[in-house]
Amino acid sequence: MNERLKSGAATRQRILVASLLLFNEQGEPRTTTNDIANEVDISPGNLHYHFRKKSDLVDALLAEFRVDARRVLQPSESDQASLENFWMFLHLLLELTAAYRFLFRDMESLTSKYPNVGRAMQHFAKGLAAAFEYHLQILADGRILSPGSDEMNVVARDLAVIALFSQRFDALIDISSTADVSSLRIARSILNVLKPFVAAGAAEHLDELASHYEASG
């Protein structure tokens, strides 16, 4: 009995991994449950046993996204004022959005078909803006950044917009790139937005960080 349960759990996880892979590569609207069954090398009936509808797959992946997003956005009490710590937050954020890029690329169609996606993405967008504002405040408290209190909210919102919608803008103007190249482009854009607000003593360090992304994209 235990072996059967383990086998069922393993098959379920393989289905989720394959679903995420195909959704990211092809987009959710262009991926069928038969495509997923073929990728996992199981019968459509076996897939149906674990997930009755494609919406069940989307909900399961959305649950995993929520858990991963919470880890990225959750403030750490040990955060210190440094550009390296901000860069690490940015790195983890871009890993997250690349891993679940189908959610961001197909946002309109997904939210119209799956209300849970709309609620989750709205919550994530608000949390992301708040997380950026939190990190900017730490940098401001450490005298690394010097935005005014009125500007902090605006800059945080701008950074969230860049992180969430840059890939869709690039697709709109017909710039195609891999997920890695797109992430590097977003990182460069976010760091460049901070340049006018960086204190003189940290400007060279920020330029050094941003220069890592100049050759990509």
Q: How confident is the model at residue 29, as a pLDDT? A: 92
Collapsed DSSP state (helix, strand, coil) of residue 198? strand
Which residues are CB-neighbours of 178 under 8 A, at least 6 positions away? none
Q: Above 80 in pLDDT, residue 76?
A: no
**Contact call for residues 194 and 83 (beta carbons, < 8 A):** no
CB atoms within 10 A of CB 24: 18
Q: How confident is the model at residue 4, as a pLDDT? A: 57
Cα→Cα distances 54→28, 65, 69, 85, 158, Å: 9, 17, 22, 39, 34
CB atoms within 10 A of CB 100: 20
Q: How confident is the model at residue 102, as a pLDDT? A: 92
CATH class of segment(s) 62-211: mainly alpha
Question: Tokens at residue 193, please?
Answer: 């937005």
pLDDT of 84-134, one tens digit each?
Answer: 888 889 989 999 999 999 998 888 889 999 999 999 999 999 999 999 999
Residue 4's Cβ-side half-sphere holds a number of Cα atoms within 13 Å equal to: 1
Q: What is the rounded distance in angstroms from the CA atom of residue 89 to the CA atom of residue 138? A: 13
pLDDT of 3-51, one tens digit each?
Answer: 555 567 889 999 999 999 999 999 999 999 999 999 999 999 999 999 9
Q: How confident is the model at residue 216, as a pLDDT? A: 45
- Give the global pTM: 0.86
Kindly report the average pLDDT of the chain as a whole number.
Answer: 87
Q: How confident is the model at residue 217, as a pLDDT? A: 44
Domain residue spans in the chain? 1-52, 62-211
Domain 1-52 has CATH 1.10.10.60: yes
